[in-house]
Amino acid sequence: MVKAVVLGAAGGIGQPLSLLLKHNPLVTSLGLYDIVNTPGVAADLSHISTPAKVVGYLPADDGLAKVLTGADVVVIPAGVPRKPGMTRDDLFKINAGIVRDLATGIAKNAPKAFVLVISNPVNSTVPIVAEVFKQHGVFDPKRLFGVTTLDVVRASTFVAEVLGDLSKAPSITVPVVGGHSGVTIVPLLSQSSAALPADFTQDARVTLTTRIQYGGDEVVKAKDGAGSATLSMAYAGAEFAEKIIRALRGETGIVAPSFVHLESDPASGAALKKEIGKDLEYFSAPVELGPQGVASIKPLGALTPYEKTLVDAALPELQTNIDKGVSFISASK
């Protein structure tokens, strides 16, 4: 029995993500919450002939507490998306407060749930959730994940495009590490499971890396003011949620990159800090999942000199983003 909850379920990501979770036979109960339209979305999804029982709540009548009760996995895509010319950090002002309030609801009503944060800027919203949980005395770093899967999905697709064979995309894995915005997104193309062509130049590698880092901008531009990635994000969110659900049901050996607290597994977290040469609190790295959440954080492994410069460039920005999230909560105490 697995109860999944989507907070922000009526939005551009929330609706297709809820559809994909309803489609997942491992989900037996699906709770939807938003400030608008959830009864309609829930009624619609409830007619699909899959096991999950769907309920939808609005804020009235303690809807947040009701939807969260009994949750095993909570996915948060609530908040405003980017418009052309905006960075993810520009969203902070609005989304920080939304995520803080939803995290408070989780701390009170589902403190043991696995929490998957999609709302941007992920590099700051994940620390916000952690600080709220700490205030409530329920923080377990093993259970908190920033969803960076879309960067991983994009990397697989773009590498398959370079190889001229999209049918390879589902089986290609490229670790993407660091964080989830601009320069903090670091694809480790040298570790791609499918080798790039032998004549792939350094210039082409830089172009591909930049495309993965700024893939979100392609969508923001094409949508021309109507928002950012929603369908590909829903796909990526559902894929990561499925891995989390399989892990909590006892499957071992599942590895997926995610933006996690480096105390989630102190030994491997300390080793990663040593590898990157900085005492950061959070970093996105391939994480081995287990029934308790983070089982271990994998080392980055051998980096090319170019990849090392990318990691180094990500570190100061990551520190700033993390500090911004932490101080948002300490300032509002």
Known binding residues for substrate: 82, 88, 120, 154
Name the residue number minimizing CB distance to ligand NAI.
11
Q: What is the largest CA-CA distance in the chain?
A: 62
Tokens read off for 122: 């992920």
150 sits near ligand NAI (criterion: CB under 6 A): yes
Tokens read off for 308: 């090392």
Nearest to ligand NAI of 102, 160 (CB atom): 102
Please give the Cα distance from 82 to 210 (Å, whole number).
Answer: 19
* Minimum CB distance to ligand NAI, residue 304 (Å): 25
Please give the Cα distance from 180 to 120 (Å, whole number).
Answer: 9
**Helix, strand, coil shares, percent, the chain, to 5:** 50, 15, 35
13 sits near ligand NAI (criterion: CB under 6 A): yes
How many amino acids of this chain bind ligand NAI (CB under 6 A)? 34
Please give the Cα distance from 81 to 87 (Å, whole number).
Answer: 10
Please give the Cα distance from 306 to 14 (Å, whole number).
Answer: 37
Q: Dihedral sign, CA of 21, 23, 27, 33?
A: positive
Residue from 5, 67, 113, 118 in contact with ligand NAI (CB under 6 A): 118
Please give the Cα distance from 320 to 22 (Å, whole number).
Answer: 37
Q: Which stretch binds ligand NAI (CB under 6 A): 193-201, 205-213, 225-233, 321-329?
A: 225-233
* Minimum CB distance to ligand NAI, residue 36 (Å): 5
Q: Dihedral sign, CA of 289, 118, 29, 242?
A: negative
177 sits near ligand NAI (criterion: CB under 6 A): no
Annotated binding site for NAD(+): 8-14, 34, 95, 118-120, 233
* Minimum CB distance to ligand NAI, residue 263 (Å): 22
21 sits near ligand NAI (criterion: CB under 6 A): no
7 sits near ligand NAI (criterion: CB under 6 A): yes
Nearest to ligand NAI of 239, 275 (CB atom): 239
96 sits near ligand NAI (criterion: CB under 6 A): no
Q: What is the DSSP letter of 141?
A: G
Residue 9's nearest CA partner among 29, 24, 28, 31 is 31
Please give the Cα distance from 305 to 302 (Å, whole number).
Answer: 10
154 sits near ligand NAI (criterion: CB under 6 A): no
Nearest to ligand NAI of 106, 297 (CB atom): 106
95 sits near ligand NAI (criterion: CB under 6 A): yes
Please identify every residue annotated as catalytic: 180
Tokens read off for 128: 């916000």
* Minimum CB distance to ligand NAI, residue 150 (Å): 4
Tokens read off for 170: 């589902």
| Site residues, ligand NAI (CB under 6 A) | 7-8, 10-14, 33-36, 77-82, 91, 95, 98, 101-102, 118-120, 122, 147, 150, 180, 227-230, 233
